[in-house]
């Protein structure tokens, strides 16, 4: 839905965000391998996630690097909650580079979870776990549980209604601790996109801004349960000591765009 894969066998396959759903998916997930690239699919038309086997923890797609923009505001979150495992791109990056963070990933589809080894997703342990659950139900019962909440909840039909409702965004607000950051991946050309933004704004007030990728396909929205988005120090783009240099180098071009967009909001 956002980027076209250049490989010949998948040249017509757009990229969708890492998959999660509020309802059981209609198709079984599978892995497509092409050279050093592995991609997750529900059909041959849409790529749900993509990984290079040469750099399995790297963020191969631009929208995933954009979602990591939360490190500008919260570089060392104690608890990160993710909706949607997919190929584990964000989960692996956070697990490797945010060593002080505990990470919980909510994924509804057991078939996606069963493919975690193919995408080199870390095993469950003291600071990382994947749980099978409906994200809408799971978040409904949470209070002050996370410092960062990443929503990448798409299936092959788009964002499930349960994951873009006003009630769901209110639940996201309650699930975050004070100064918690919400990051959402939207499809910018969806006919209801502006309605979704208004629902986020209703839950979080004016503490939000939007960044759109170069292809004008993915919209990444940052919202905060507090005023961290207004921190003037963000404009300096200085690497926090807790973020490894390698991670910062990977993210820096995207962080510059996010910083500039924030200044214009």
Answer yes or no: is 32 within a domain.
yes
Determine, yes or no, domain membership for 29.
Answer: yes
Cβ–Cβ < 8 Å for 35, 46: no
DSSP assignment of the chain equals ---B--SGGGTT-BB-PSB--SS--SS--EEEEETTEEEEEEETTEEEEEEETTSTTS--SHHHHHHGGGGGT-SS-SEEEEE--TT-HHHHHHHHH-TT-EEEEEES-HHHHHTGGGGTPPPP-SSEEEEE--HHHHHHT-SS-EEEEEE--BBTTBS-GGGSSHHHHHHHHHHEEEEEEEEEEEETT-TTHHHHHHHHHHHHTT-EEEEE-TTS-EEEEEEESSSGGG-GGGGG-PPPTTS-HHHHHHHHHHHHHHHHHHHH-
Whether 264 has a pLDDT exceeding 80, the answer reads no
| Residue 19 domain flag | yes
- The domain tally of the chain equals 1
In a domain, 204, yes or no: yes
User: Among 5, 60, 109, 152, which one carries the catalytic annotation?
Assistant: 152
Residue 37 lies in a domain: yes
Look at residue 111 and tell me if it is in a domain. yes
Over residues 226-234, mean pLDDT: 90
41-45, 53-57, 73-77, 105-109: range with lowest mean pLDDT: 41-45
Q: Please give the residue range of the domain that contains residue 68.
A: 8-264
Whole-number pLDDT of residue 26: 60
Strands 146-151 and 79-83: parallel
The per-residue pLDDT for range 203-214, each reduced to its tens digit, is 999 899 999 988
The structure's pTM equals 0.89
Q: What percentage of the chain carries pLDDT values higher than 70? A: 90
71 lies in a domain?
Answer: yes
Q: Is 152 considered catalytic here?
A: yes
| CB 14, CB 1: distance < 8 Å | yes
| Average of per-residue pLDDT values in the chain | 89
**By C-alpha distance, which of 22, 98, 74 is closest to 182?**
74
CA distances 7 to 38, 58, 87, 115, Å, are 11, 19, 18, 22
What's the pLDDT at 182? 99
Give the CATH number of the domain where residue 203 resides: 3.40.50.150
Residue 23 lies in a domain: yes
């Amino acid at each position: 839905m956002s980027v076209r894969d250049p490989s010949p066998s998948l040249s017509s396959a757009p990229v969708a965000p890492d998959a999660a759903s509020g309802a059981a998916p209609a198709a079984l997930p599978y892995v497509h391998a092409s050279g050093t690239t592995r991609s997750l699919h529900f059909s041959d038309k849409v790529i749900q996630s993509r990984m290079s086997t040469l750099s399995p923890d790297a963020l191969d797609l631009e929208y995933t690097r954009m979602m990591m923009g939360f490190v500008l505001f919260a570089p060392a979150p104690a608890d990160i909650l993710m909706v949607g495992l997919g190929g584990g791109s964000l989960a692996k990056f956070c697990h490797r580079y945010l060593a002080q963070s505990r990470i919980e990933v909510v994924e509804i589809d057991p078939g996606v979870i069963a493919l975690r080894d193919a995408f080199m997703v870390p095993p469950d342990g003291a600071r990382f776990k994947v749980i099978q659950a409906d994200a809408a139900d799971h978040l409904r019962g949470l209070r002050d549980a996370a410092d960062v909440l990443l929503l990448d909840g798409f299936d092959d039909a788009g964002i499930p209604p349960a994951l873009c409702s006003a009630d769901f965004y209110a639940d996201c607000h309650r699930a975050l601790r004070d100064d918690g950051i919400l990051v959402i991946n939207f499809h910018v050309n969806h006919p209801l996109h502006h309605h979704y933004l208004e629902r986020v704004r209703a839950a979080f007030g004016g503490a939000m801004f939007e960044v759109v990728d170069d292809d004008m396909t993915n919209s990444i929205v940052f919202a905060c349960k507090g005023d961290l988005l207004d921190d003037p120090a963000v404009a300096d783009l200085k690497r926090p000591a807790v973020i490894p240099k390698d991670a910062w180098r990977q993210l820096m071009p995207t962080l510059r765009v996010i910083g500039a967009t924030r200044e214009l909001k």
